[in-house]
């Protein structure tokens, strides 16, 4: 799977705080607002459930760099790169995400989004198991209205 969990370690164990996606053996992509100052910080790959048993064997990768978009402000340009010390080992449960072609805006095409987050805004329950949903992309110009 291409999705990863960003986590920090405390005396109580590992705590998930954000999700991300593998882009190659040393890098993942996440939201810029996920740059918490807790330390040490990790990326967990191959994880399908945040709690309880899982059929996969997740791997722990220490975060060595967190690079926010230089023009990040609130929800604007909320994207960041995460470098890990130990490379991701690709297999059945760990894969990089497919990169889109730069010259295609994918308007009106169906895409899959996934995560462990809330499924409704405001009150809601965090998902324990990873979920994915299929959505239709709006044309780029619609986003700027």
Q: Read out DSSP for 14-47?
A: EEEEEEEEE-SSSEEEE-GGG----SSEEEEES-
Q: Which residues of 15-32 are buried (b: 16+ CB within 10 A; e: fewer)?
A: eeebbbbbbeebbbebbb
Name residue 3's beta-bridge partners.
Answer: 21
For residue 73, the 8-state DSSP code is B
In the numeric block, which tokens belong to residue 114?
């996934």
- Tokens 């994915």 belong to residue: 132
Domain boundaries, the chain: 3-84, 110-143
**In which residue ranges of the chain is pLDDT below 70?**
38, 48-56, 116-130, 143-145
pLDDT at 129: 62
pLDDT at 64: 94
Name residue 84's beta-bridge partners.
Answer: 63
The structure's pTM equals: 0.79
Secondary structure element (H or E) that encloses residue 59, with its range: strand 59-68
pLDDT at 116: 66
Question: What's the CATH class of domain 3-84?
Answer: mainly beta
How do 41-45 and 59-68 pair as beta strands?
Answer: antiparallel
């Amino acid at each position: 799977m291409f999705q990863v969990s960003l986590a920090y370690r405390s005396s109580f164990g590992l705590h998930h705080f954000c999700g991300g996606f593998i882009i190659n053996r040393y890098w993942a992509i996440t939201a810029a607002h996920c740059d918490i100052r807790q330390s040490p910080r990790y990326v967990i790959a191959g994880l399908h459930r945040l709690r309880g048993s899982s059929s996969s064997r997740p791997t722990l990768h220490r975060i060595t760099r967190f690079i926010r978009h230089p023009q990040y402000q609130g929800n604007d340009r909320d994207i960041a790169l995460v470098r890990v010390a130990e490379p991701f080992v690709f297999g059945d449960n760990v894969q990089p995400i497919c990169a889109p072609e730069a010259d295609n805006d994918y308007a009106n095409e169906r895409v899959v989004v996934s995560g462990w987050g809330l499924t409704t805004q405001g009150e809601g329950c965090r998902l324990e198991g990873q979920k994915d949903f299929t959505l239709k992309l709006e044309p780029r110009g619609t986003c700027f209205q």
